[in-house]
A and B are shown apart, each in its own frame.
Chain A
């Protein structure tokens, strides 16, 4: 069985992003859902399935559905960190294919910037974490720093190469009016920013912002009746390998190796067919590792791959075209924004940052401490 064209994305929207003090996680999700449904030409009463991931409540799936007034007949709160929404898209496709639902919303909202709701990484000291807790590794940055340390030692990857990714991503953000950080950035500025957990510096790390998003996923039959050209799910894969960094099987290979393989096979496309790529950039190293694990370059070669402005506007590999978690927004679990941007690129709605003639896009979410990955490939008819 395959999920190829089992569903299409009919609407996408962000809520207000950045610093949104007059909001809650509920208002941001409501805002995004209203906008995404309007774009899709659908009503709230059409929604029969809800997918969400939140770290802000006791039973967040129940809370958000209650707030929005939705009693779904299919409900999925898969919560595996920032990659959750790519998992959700695959799960929604499977549910739609099985005729368990027809119109699904994928939801996310966070006010972690304004309200300091950062419970996701509250210090856990029980179960497996008790063996890490004494040592004071800041989570998540310290875990990604360990992976970066290993990659640098094993392959000679340099801080300059990580910095270059941050600079290229900023260049995209400069073309996106919604991006949080739009001032110019240089490699030297990244290398001069405060060391947080070596080798990662302040500007190797994603933003901390508020924000929400919604993606409306529909059955093929419904997709063909709606105002926007459908963006089809062509392939999806998912996996997770560990919860804590000391249990990661190989610090340089993420679960994208497994999920990417399935996504490409399902879509029936190869790397060179892709026009635009959106890869979760919680940290600069996240992108380098994911590029390798997805097979865009050989293991150990991602530092060279991202050098020379290759991923910047005008470069040969358009990557994180909205400015990424590094410069556009990062409200905790950022993966939904990868889907939103991929859809907009395929529809040709991206203005100054539009990748010309984009017909095939890949979005790859990573969650936890390089723990989970889901990769999706999206395309036009």
Chain B
């Protein structure tokens, strides 16, 4: 993780990840699920959305097998980057791991796991689920 992180918006999220919790926010006024974390609801503008914990279950909304990776990830290719729609109603980027990259498809059910990234910081990843 970059030196300037976590920041005041993201600290509860990264603390959650370190504790094995996928945290997200929900607006108390309009009930919108919010990701990434913010100090204001991007739907209705109400400040200070409340923190919640996701069950970590979702569906692959879109995915790409990365063959030509950025320099920092060259040794990891090919890998699957996906946008995952969580059951609670928010979308996040992650990787789908522990599977054949070619087997991952839009609509695939996935669930969260926690792995350390290249600099030792835990981050949420997803694995296929029934």
Q: Which chain B residues lie closer than 8 Å to A141 at the CB level?
A: 68
Q: Is the CB of A196 within 8 A of B5?
A: no
Q: Is the CB of A134 within 8 A of B123?
A: yes
Q: Report if A146-B1 is in contact (Cβ < 8 Å); known contacts: A138-B70, A246-B92.
A: no
A149 at the interface (CB under 8 A from B): yes
A197 at the interface (CB under 8 A from B): yes
Q: Is the CB of B62 within 8 A of A153?
A: yes
B4 at the interface (CB under 8 A from A): yes
Q: Is the CB of B106 within 8 A of A131?
A: no
Q: Is the CB of A142 within 8 A of B64?
A: yes
- Give chain A's interface secondary structure class: helix
Q: Which chain A residues lie closer than 8 Å to B61 at the CB level?
A: 150, 251
Q: Is the CB of A131 within 8 A of B70?
A: no
Q: Which chain A residues lie closer than 8 Å to B52 at the CB level?
A: none
Could you name 27 residue pairs across A and B whose Cβ atoms are closer than 8 Å? Answer: A126-B4, A127-B7, A128-B36, A131-B36, A134-B123, A135-B123, A136-B66, A136-B95, A137-B81, A137-B93, A142-B64, A142-B81, A146-B83, A148-B64, A149-B64, A149-B106, A153-B62, A194-B68, A195-B67, A197-B68, A197-B81, A198-B67, A246-B36, A246-B83, A246-B92, A247-B36, A251-B61
Q: Is the CB of B117 within 8 A of A134?
A: yes
B95-122 with Cβ < 8 A to chain A = 95, 105-107, 117, 121
A340 at the interface (CB under 8 A from B): no
Give the A-binding residues of B (Cβ under 8 A). Answer: 1-2, 4-7, 10, 13, 35-36, 61-70, 72-73, 76, 79, 81-83, 91-95, 105-107, 117, 121, 123
Choice from B62, B66, B70, B94 contacting A147 with Cβ under 8 Å: B62
Q: How many A-B residue pairs have CB under 8 A?
A: 105
Q: Given the complex of chains A and B, what is the CA–CA distance between A146 and B107 in angstroms?
A: 13
Q: Report if A197-B64 is in contact (Cβ < 8 Å); known contacts: A125-B5, A126-B2, A130-B10.
A: yes
A7 at the interface (CB under 8 A from B): no
Q: Given the complex of chains A and B, what is the CA–CA distance between A198 and B80 in angstroms?
A: 9
Choice from B6, B62, B92, B105 contacting A251 with Cβ under 8 Å: B62
Q: A125-B5, A146-B63, A247-B36 are in contact. List 4 more A-B contacts (CB 8 A).
A: A123-B72, A135-B123, A136-B81, A137-B64
Q: Which chain A residues lie closer than 8 Å to B83 at the CB level?
A: 146, 245-246, 251
A195-226 near B? 1/0 per residue, CB < 8 Å: 11111100000000000000000000000000
* Nearest opposing residue in chain A for B105, CB measure: A153
Choice from A146, A148, A197 contacting B67 with Cβ under 8 Å: A197
* Nearest opposing residue in chain B for A251, CB measure: B62
Q: Is the CB of B64 within 8 A of A246?
A: no
Which 3 A-B pairs give the minimum distances between C-beta atoms?
A: A136-B73, A153-B106, A145-B64
A132 at the interface (CB under 8 A from B): yes
Q: Is the CB of B93 within 8 A of A197?
A: no
* Nearest opposing residue in chain B for A128, CB measure: B36
A258 CB to closest chain B CB, in angstroms? 17
Q: Given the complex of chains A and B, what is the CA–CA distance between A28 and B23 in angstroms?
A: 49
Q: Which chain B residues lie closer than 8 Å to A128 at the CB level?
A: 36
* Nearest opposing residue in chain A for B73, CB measure: A136
Q: Given the complex of chains A and B, what is the CA–CA distance between A298 and B2 in angstroms?
A: 43
* Nearest opposing residue in chain B for A154, CB measure: B106
A240 CB to closest chain B CB, in angstroms? 14
Q: Which chain A residues lie closer than 8 Å to B69 at the CB level?
A: 136, 138
Q: Is the CB of A135 within 8 A of B65?
A: no
Q: Is the CB of A197 within 8 A of B4?
A: no
